[in-house]
Chain A
Amino acid sequence: MPPLHLVRPPCNPYSATMWSIALKMLLGDKPKYFGLVFGVTFASLLMGQQVSVFISLMTRTAGLIFDLTEADIWVMDRRVRYIDEPEPIRDIDLSVIRSVEGVQWAVPFYKGVATVRQPNGLSQVVVLVGIDEVSLVGLANDTLLGNARVITQPQTAMMDKNGYKFMWPGEAFSLGRELELNDHRLIIKAICNAAPTLTTYPTLYVSYATITQLFPQARNRLPFVVVKVAPGQRVADVTRRIEQDTGLQALPRIEFAWRSINYFATRTGIPINFGITVFLGVIIGAAITAQTFYLFVVENTKQFAAMKAFGVTNGQLFRLVMLQAAFVGVIGYSIGMGLTALFIRSVGNVPAFRGLTLHWQVVAGAAVVITLIIAVSVLVSLIKVFRADPAMVFKG
């Protein structure tokens, strides 16, 4: 045999050259690699999609408040806990509010539920929104068909797009449809895009004057006044002044929206039931990811033991496995979030999913959870590897 040509290596315990080995170990075993990526992808998709649907559902409870961006403050009776539980205030209070220092303008805003009857005799529950006919504050401004200002005319209404599809599924948008409400005729003369509501009932926009005609008792039964703060005034100061001068409850817009969301969150079964679903989704996703990673590391224990025998340190093994985990985690998470975004985009036009959005907080939260799951499962399995007796490689 010819003499062996050999080199004596430097001894660097902190070398990063094991990284290429780490990726080759990972990518060389395709079934395991795809299994790992699938586990992380599934967990990410489950978390992103379920949490987004949950957030969308909760946001719908305050959809009208979020939609009314022109106003800074909502004024209502002190007993009101959320937007769907209005208590009437006096019409005169509107004038009092307008006289409060720092109020640029204040207009009435009606929100209630009514039953309309169609010409064919079928009835349908609708959300009725009464808008100040002068300022049109609160009117959905994304009109798809017709002109929104037509609601200033008597017996005229604008319906939201999803409500139209809900009432007349499969039919093309057309203006002039008639509805009957409290023995009054309402003609739909405009169709608009509006923030989805929790119930998916159609939303009918009418003028506040029409409301008083439809419900004669609505005079002196005004549910809300929405207020714009004058330039240079602080919302908190004006809110306090309104409460002092009227004895009513005044809330900044976002605070009222959160109050409505919190009411549904704490007083209804929606968040608990849906929360359990989300929780189970996260647990299942976590279990799949953790188990897959654990098995991946543990199945390689003998190979790791062999590496330890010929001089690979625990630190090198740690970095090697963490790099594999990070590689799989980033790819699986990216695909999972991509699929979540694709799902949200693909169902964007379905009325039941209107308003479904992938918030950055969900993206970040899922990243944190996935990272934690992977880190914990890898660390637990690595403990087993670190404790592995290198002598095990001598056992056939």
Chain B
Amino acid sequence: MTAISLDTVGKIYQSGDIATVALQDVTLQIPMGELSMLVGPSGCGKTTLISIATGILSPTSGTVITLGQHLARMTDTQRVLFRRQHIGFIFQQFNLLSTLTAAENAAMPLVAAGIPLSKAVVTAKDLLATLGMADHCHKLPKQLSGGQQQRVAIARSLVHDPALIVCDEPTASLDGKTGRDVMGILRSVANHPKRAVLVVTHDNRVYPFADRIYDMADGHMMGVYTHETYLHKESL
């Protein structure tokens, strides 16, 4: 099954009389069982694309099928519940709740789904331990390093066993080594036939972790590459 399928998707932001074209006729297929990267300069439409692919934004034109579901046919609430069940998010700024412990933050998607906090935290602690964070479960975000916070965010994105994990610049706030560690975790997460990981990034140091690299510019999809073919293209 394809994780994300976009067919001639367009997005125009209208602000008064001013229309800004963010995406134009974007067509792509992101397969399951792979780690895909979306790259391109700032303002090329990467964030808009992942927002549309996850049902956070609606496209102006085109068809979006995520995990086999036509998102346009869902109500807003159905899209929220779809995200809750099937999609995990990792953000550049982590977006952890500052007053919750690492385990409680990681447990949030389960709590949102109706699982009692105490039970959800047990599951989250197991997952954090798997990510090397067993000793940090009770700490608040401000007591954790950037890399540790990102691991908590990864745990939060995985705790409800989603089929699609979307990461927005997951290594942008991290040093090189920590960034590689985080990508290593995401790489292992993607090694599952019923799961896909999509990473939006500027960080060319992490390109080797990608199975495919989708190159965007000015709202257009410029091409799909492997790590090697992308480096070759860049060197030309």
Contacts and interface: CB of A to CB of B under 8 A. Distances in A.
A388 to B, nearest CB: 11
Interface in A269-321: 302-303, 306-313, 316
A308 B188 contact: no
A29 B156 CA distance: 21
Contacts, number: 145
Q: Give the interface residue-count category, chain A.
A: 35 or more
Given A20-B117, A28-B98, A394-B51, A306 B109 contact: no
A395 B115 CA distance: 30
A21 B104 contact: yes
Contact of A11 (B84, B89, B117, B184): B84
Contact of A24 (B87, B100, B169): B100
B99 A394 contact: no
Interface stretch (B123-131, B204-212, B218-226, B227-235): B123-131
Contacts of A9: 85, 109-110, 113-115, 160
A5 B127 contact: yes
Q: Give the interface residue-count category, chain B.
A: 35 or more
Nearest to A30: B99
A9 B47 CA distance: 28
A29 to B, nearest CB: 5
A122 interface: no
B97 A17 contact: no
A17 B117 contact: yes
B33 interface: no
Which of B87, B114, B156 has the most C-beta atoms of chain A within 10 angstroms of its own C-beta?
Answer: B114
B100 A25 contact: yes
B161 A6 contact: yes
A24 B109 CA distance: 16
Interface in A353-396: 389-391, 393-396
Interface in A15-45: 15, 17-18, 20-21, 24-29
Contacts of B161: 6-8
B111 A25 contact: no
Contacts of A92: none
Given A1-B185, A15-B112, A307-B108, A6 B83 contact: no
Interface in B121-165: 123, 126-127, 130, 140, 156-161
A20 B117 CA distance: 7
B112 A312 contact: yes
Contacts of A389: 56-57
A274 B30 CA distance: 71
B143 to A, nearest CB: 13
Given A9-B110, A13-B77, A310-B108, A393 B130 contact: no
12 contacts: A5-B126, A8-B161, A9-B115, A15-B112, A21-B100, A24-B104, A29-B99, A303-B98, A311-B84, A311-B109, A393-B89, A394-B51
Given A11-B81, A311-B109, 10 more contacts: A5-B126, A11-B114, A21-B104, A25-B99, A28-B99, A310-B89, A311-B113, A391-B56, A393-B93, A396-B169
